[in-house]
Amino acid sequence: MNRARRFRLGVFRVTVFLVMGAFFLIPIGAMVEFSTRGNSLTAPRTLQTWADIIKVPDLVQAITVSLELAAITSVGMLVLLLPTMVWVRLRLPGLTRIIEFICLLPLTVPAIALVVGMVPLYRWIKINVSDSILMLAFAYLVLVLPYTYRTLDAGLASIDLKTLSEAARSLGAGWGTVMLRVVVPNMSGAILNACLLSVALVLGEFTFANLLLYENLQVAILYQSFVSAGTSIAVAVAALLFAFVLLLILSFVGRPRARMARAEEA
Amino acid sequence: MPFFAYVSLFLLLPTVLIAAGSFAAKDGSLTISNFTSINQPFLVKSFVNGAVVSLVSALAGGFAGALLAYAVVTGNPRGLLRRAVTSASGVLAQFGGVTLAFAFLATLSTTGFVTILLQQHGINIFPNGKVWLYELSGLTLLYVYFQIPLMVLVFLPALDGIRPQWREATESLGGTSWHYWRYVAGPLLAPSFLGCTLLLFANAFSAYATAQALISQGSLIVPLAISNLLTSETGRAQPGLAKALAVSMILIVTIVTVLYAVLQQRSGRWLR
């Protein structure tokens, strides 16, 4: 690469990163700025709105149920999806395409369209099963399917499932032992990834909750903004930072394993 | 298997309910009146608006995202910068909804950070008192915010497939940078770029939460129209019409997604 081109490329890269950095960071910074404003433009900075978060029962309640929903969805996703995927890989490889199609289906059915079909279903659930907000977890399981399927599929592809399970079976292990003590520990990175993705997705979910008339975190934040813009923005920033930390963890998990695999190839 | 029982109950059943319900009249008889009544000015307008917002935000996000992806690709493939940009993109691509609307309200509303800052320097971003943030142009700007990161995520693999040898080959044949982009990299990347832009279009077309949090009233775009028909408290809820709109949305998004898949396959011939 000659020097003139290298210089032009450097200028191009710096410009792009500066412009993009400004575009993406300013709105987030503005939220922090907005949430620390005093009562007037000249008032000193204050963290009052942040402290007010725990004083609003609706918000605390919504944060709690959203975290519960996130946990239930993650566990439910694993229980439902992982054994099915293992079973299909080992015994019914012909079903792979069908499972993949089903799992990726929610990507082409917009949430706002899917919820139209969920409304009658949830009317029935509210009357006949339970009117608890935790019932939303059933709908959220569908939402996280495409993302978790891909993650778990990549995880399963990276281990020699057939050999591992046959070895375990020949030593007398039952299927439960194979799943819990052989498959899960061998793909812990992918499983953690799938869980973190589900948590991030559930914490940010608005469409289903709003139209099925439940009050989860995002809906509560929107309601709170009609009462106090500052507090609602403070919660929004907090939720965003939480999701960011989760996904930062995600980007570091599983990397040592990747390095090991590369070393084995070499 | 429990998996099949579950997806048929919570994924396939709702889809069937939408499809069947869109052909049902209020008394349950078979009808296509739900689809013919889409032909009302405010609903047609919501489709046109939705298409315009999606197209503009997909093109803007596509170009900006491609530039950012290229800036990332030309750096160290295992460097901190690349990891930071990809994980930030992962978060920001999902960063729609209430938080996004708030972020821009805190930035560009009449009491927003940037608005006030510019005002102090004598610049008024809302000439003639026209607050465009709550209109289509404002919505488009918000959509670009999650379109760029999505473009980075889906376009990076294509850029990674570009081999430095191709550039060297161009140069050894006497080609300039212009020749390289015009005759080598451009045509190779074009199908992928087009496909990714289509994906961005589908993404924006299906988005609901951001618009609801920013605008909250009226039927500016299709998702808002569906939401209004579904939750109208004045007894004018029209579930049949909402289902017909939902079916139309699914159709449009499916067609666009299939086109995306075809184009991705086409670009996979060279960029692996």
Alpha-carbon B90 to chain mean position = 15
Q: Enumerate residues 193 to 252 of chain B having a beta carbon within 8 A of any beta carbon in chain A.
A: 202, 205-206, 208-209, 212-213, 223, 226-227, 230-231, 239, 242-243, 246-247, 249-250
CA distance B146 to B92: 6
CA distance B211 to A196: 26
Choose between A95 and B271: higher pLDDT.
A95
CA distance A108 to A119: 19
CA distance B230 to A34: 34
Q: A83-87, B50-54, B159-163: which has the highest mean pLDDT?
A: B50-54
B42 CB within 8 Å of a chain A CB: no
CA distance B238 to B250: 18
Choose between A41 and A131: higher pLDDT.
A131
Q: What is the pLDDT of residues A49-93, one digit of tens each?
A: 777 777 778 888 888 898 899 999 999 998 888 888 888 888 888
CA distance to partner chain B, nearest, from residue A239 (Å):
9
**Quick one: tokens of A249?**
């963890």
B183 CB within 8 Å of a chain A CB: no
Q: Which residues of A touch B254 (CB under 8 A)?
A: 108
Q: Using the predicted structure, report yes or no on whether residue A263 has a pLDDT greater than 70.
A: no
Q: What is the pLDDT of residues A14-37, one digit of tens each?
A: 999 999 989 888 988 888 888 887
State the residue for tokens 């821009």. B104
Q: Using the predicted structure, report yes or no on whether residue A266 has a pLDDT greater than 70.
A: no
The CATH number of the structural domain formed by A56-265 is 1.10.3720.10
A258 CB within 8 Å of a chain B CB: no
Choose between B18 and B69: higher pLDDT.
B69
Q: Enumerate residues 43 to 102 of chain B having a beta carbon within 8 A of any beta carbon in chain A.
A: 64, 67-68, 70-71, 74-75, 81, 83, 86-88, 90-92, 94-99, 102
Encoded amino acid at A233, one letter: I
Phi, psi (5° rounding) for residue B30?
A: -75, 135
The secondary structure element, H or E, covering residue B35 is helix B33-36
ipTM value of the model? 0.82
Buried b (16+ CB within 10 A) or exposed e, A84-103: bbbbbbeeeeebeeebbebb
Asked if A204 lies within 8 A of B94 by C-beta distance, the reply is yes
Nearest to A24 among B15, B74, B92 (CB): B92
Q: What is the pLDDT of residues A135-158, one digit of tens each?
A: 888 889 988 888 888 888 888 888
DSSP state letter for B30:
B
Give the up-direction half-sphere exposure of residue A53: CA atoms within 13 A in the CB hemisphere: 19
In chain B, % of residues over pLDDT 90: 10
Give the up-direction half-sphere exposure of residue A58: CA atoms within 13 A in the CB hemisphere: 15
In order of their start, the domains of chain B are: 1-31 (no CATH), 39-267 (1.10.3720.10)
pLDDT score, position B61:
92
Give the up-direction half-sphere exposure of residue B257: CA atoms within 13 A in the CB hemisphere: 18
pLDDT score, position A260:
47
Asked if A201 lies within 8 A of B98 by C-beta distance, the reply is no
**Burial zone of B83 (CB within 10 Å; 0-12 exposed, 13-18 middle, 19+ buried):** middle
Domain ranges of chain A: 56-265
- Which one, of A237, A207, A92, A84, lies nearest residue A149 by Cα? A84
Comparing A107-121, B16-30, B200-214, the range with the smallest average pLDDT is: B16-30
**Burial zone of A221 (CB within 10 Å; 0-12 exposed, 13-18 middle, 19+ buried):** buried
Q: Residue A144 in contact with residue A73, Cβ under 8 Å?
A: yes
pLDDT score, position B65:
92
The residues that bridge with A33 in the sheet, in sequence order, are: none
Q: Which residue of B has its CA nearest to A111?
A: B206
CA distance A120 to A118: 6
Angle at B122 between CA B120 and CA B126, to 5 degrees: 100
pLDDT score, position A1:
61
What is the interface size between A and B, counted as CB pairs within 8 Å? 198
Helices (H), chain A: 3-35, 48-52, 57-90, 96-108, 111-128, 136-157, 161-170, 175-177, 184-186, 188-203, 207-211, 217-227, 229-252, 255-265
Which residue pairs, CB below 8 angstroms and at least 24 apart, start in A224-229? Answer: A224/A56, A224/A58, A224/A59, A225/B102, A227/A56, A228/A49, A228/A52, A229/A34, A229/B105
Q: Using the predicted structure, report yes or no on whether residue A167 has a pLDDT greater than 60.
A: yes
Asked if B14 lies within 8 A of A121 by C-beta distance, the reply is yes
Asked if A229 lies within 8 A of B104 by C-beta distance, the reply is no
Q: Give the pLDDT band of residue B233 (cuts 50, 70, 90).
A: low
